Structure 1
């Protein structure tokens, strides 16, 4: 509340300063912008300012007051029901209206206001508590047993209406140095939070797009991978900030981005490689893959083939490492090791290798007994059974003997020291065909490494990757027989000039 002199002084200074509101308030320290303009409007309209403040119009008209009193009398004299039905006024206001019109209706539920004069000491204490209060005006009024408007009336009587109702000093604002230091700390925390959020988003995108582990070092990524991360997050973060965080040069980013938009020139080659890989039991590495592509007049260097196979996920199965175990017993004298690990032959039917391998599937055990020619690694005969007995090896040997074209060929049949190759049936067949026996040393599988290598390729390329849960023994036998036919007819070998064993023999004129 401002006195008449304060208001007229503010208006005159406002006019003197050319109606500059900010300058006027700065010099006087009061009032607000809206109050100053309203005082100036009133001054221009009447060449003066009203000395007192205009009283506010009553909130409710006499007709509304009469309607509320009539509703109260007609509906059981319930104040709560009247205020709820009409939506006005407050309960205290309705009580005061009823007391003014019908004082005889006052009840213990509606106590009469205490109109007895209060001592001056009480008024002074109330005004002091109001102006220097540590609590609200309503709490001061309830503590003294008066209503809230009475406190302001006493304040106007003792101090005048211009005196503000509260004289509590505002809390001193922090000093400029303290404000600046606090703001710096807030800015530093916000920067740290933003940086951590950016790093977290980059790690999540690296895991999502390029399948990197969450603990990967972002700086160790290749520039092409960093470019993928920048493209994925450039709508959320500024480009320069992403490049700086990843340590990626701006020129490198645009270079790899342009390369990614160029059509893949190896798109057709990728499809051809996938077809070759699937048709050959998913066992070709990059060397055989390059040789197969070369046979189709597609010339690509080995490094490109290796990279494309990695990108397409064309990974050949690798052999599993197993502990070696062999039976060391001897049942009869063994012949000499004539091959002595020399598995090269200048012509067919010079050196034959044989052994037995076991395949354990859910339906049972299956055994394979092949005869391999060292000339070109061709499986010249084989037998498949469910027991590793004499019949298995004898059947295989009979089929191998029938492949000898002339009586002059006397192959050396090399095997391990198993009992299958010491039984009378085996020995008699060897003697009748005039074949030469050779055996590995005791417990030394490398002496028959070429045959063991065939078993390793067979299991790595075909057996281990397969799913044999619902396969019967008959079905497994047919699949194994089909693989050996493919091995002889289709599977290319590098040392044969990128040919299969049968193609190699045809190229030499050994077969029609």
Structure 2
């Protein structure tokens, strides 16, 4: 049987101090030459339970359960308990820096742990903290616990409702049990990212358009000669293996598609390619579009002016201001992809379908407003 080792009181208190400071058990054992880690764990248990008197008991000495060592007199017992208290507070001072840099919550916890054993005034005196300061920290501690409980309740409500509610509805639920300000609830939800996730808030674009033109067209979709009034727009072609876009320019005079481009990116280069396909325009030609960023960009506006075109733009959120091109794009999809059930096909077939339809639309498809003529045939007859 191995020899039992007795460690001095100072070694035990140093081990406690190191563990409270976060030093690993293995490091404590190496530094203080302690054989068994369970020994350190036992000392920590005694310390947390307030059984510091056991640090000085002889090896193998056992006291009656719940009682400490016997004392010669009551005065002796009080003096020894007072010394233990001072020693424990010293450990707190070293580890937690209590004293001049005292941490309120730590002091409150320490004083509360000795309530009923030692007076608050005595403990405060050992800590070097006025009793009034303890009560102030105690009140702050209570307020902090109340704040933490409120945050926990808000979090539980947000999670139980699967983040479907905003701060107003969460406030309404909280007010069934307590009085709470909606601004407090909003701040907590923002702090922990518990906001409503059903509708993402839309934010305005940070950049400003280079040029927004007046609505010169003003829904007057009639013209006395070809290329006098043009309308343009972009539409989605979500029928192939990847997202495609169609940029078209329509002549209001005979509803003819005078230029178009198919691409997989709706940037300025895309609409410039469509614009470059029209030439020999009459003086005073008007080109109407919406207020999309590609049309209001500096590059596009410069190209429009270079061709001698006057720009016109729809009002925001008013598709009817650009009805002719909107109608053409809807007709194209209705009479091809939707009619033939081509909701999912190859990219090549999408491009082929669009090109063939525009050829058919310009040359063959008759329109009542054109005296039952196709756009190109009507232009030829009038010209």
Q: Same fold (TM over 0.5)?
A: no
Tell me which interval the TM-score lies in, with the shorter structure as reference length. Answer: 0.3 to 0.5
Q: Give TM-score scaled by structure 1 length.
A: 0.34
Highest relative contact order (Cα 8 Å, sep 6+), 1 or 2? 2
- The structure with more radius of gyration: 1
